[in-house]
Amino acid sequence: MGAMRLEKLSFLLPALLLIFIMVIYPILATILLSFNIDIVVGAEVSDKPPSLENYFKAFSSRELLNWKGVETGTFPMGALIHNALWVAIHLPITTILGLLLAVLLQNVKGASIIRSLIFLGMVVPMIVGGLLIAFSFDKDIGIVNFLLNTLGLKMFVKTWTTYPDTALFALILGSVWLWTGFSVVTYSAGLASIPKEIIEAALIDGAKFRTILFKIIIPLLKPVTVAVVAMTIIWDLKIFDIVYVATRGGPGGASMVLSILMWDYFARVTDYTMSATIATILTFIILPVAIIWVKLVMKGR
């Protein structure tokens, strides 16, 4: 028995070693660096004593949390609030839209083609997606402003990504297409697992679409919804590519998010301890979401 366990362990060791080198060690090194503890041999990033100084500095900075902007309702409000707004707006839109499209396309001819077009947003590289968003909201060539002009709403026509009051919202709305495909495909797979007899019986009993949706489909798709919500929140919190390409967090920090702020500290300011601090804050925001999702999945909810 001992030899068999040793043999099994020998098979796991390469994978465990890889996980430690590529995942565990970088996470620990980043967290410790945020406390001015450098375990990277020869890096000599900071000679300060271990402390919470970086966290006090981060939460008192205008880039992370701008209380004046929050109080007045003007941008920038700080990366933390911007990420929260991204979740608050993007999550319900993509989740509800994904569910409705999946249900409506269930028995439609050519539904697979429509799903493919919707899912195209997931296939497009996020860097390209950022460029598409920037072009879509451009005053002269953007499709959004073309539609506004067509509808007679010329007062709203402008390059949305260059104004502090609209830059973040333009990115959020633009990212809806990039992520809705995930919701549609996931919900479509979930709908395929629901026995048709249940819905057919409800139709025979005279149930309306609204009743079937809220009393049968949504309750049975609860595990799918948990997965969609968790993955969407994680995606929203770690959003980087499209913001970097479209606005780089501007104008004036109006579309700054945590991942861009982390990158700025690392690449532009070259303050590695502050970069590690923002990365740690982002990790501890995402971690509870991931843990709750895993627990719910393990319980089969």
Residues 195-245: pLDDT tens digits? 888 888 888 878 788 888 888 888 889 888 988 998 999 999 999 999 999
Domain 81-299, CATH homologous superfamily name and number? MetI-like (1.10.3720.10)
Residue 187, burial from CB neighbour count under 10 angstroms (0-12, 13-18, 19+): buried
User: So what's the pLDDT on residue 42?
Assistant: 47
In contact, 247 and 159? CB cutoff 8 Å: no
Report phi then psi at 240, rounded to 5. -140, -60
**Longest CA pairwise span in the chain (Å):** 79
Note down pLDDT in tens along the chain; length 301 residues.
556 676 667 777 888 888 888 888 888 888 998 888 877 654 455 566 778 889 999 999 999 999 999 999 999 999 999 999 999 999 999 999 999 998 888 877 777 788 878 888 888 888 899 999 999 999 888 899 999 988 888 888 999 999 999 999 999 999 998 899 899 989 988 888 888 888 888 888 787 888 888 888 888 898 889 889 989 999 999 999 999 999 999 899 999 999 999 999 999 888 889 999 999 999 999 888 888 877 776 665 5
Task: List the domain boundaries for the chain.
Answer: 81-299
Q: How far apart are the first and last CA of the chain?
A: 37
Cα-based angle 124, 129, 135 (whole degrees, multiple of 5): 135
- As separate numbers, helices (DSSP H) first and strands (DSSP E) second, the chain gives 16, 0
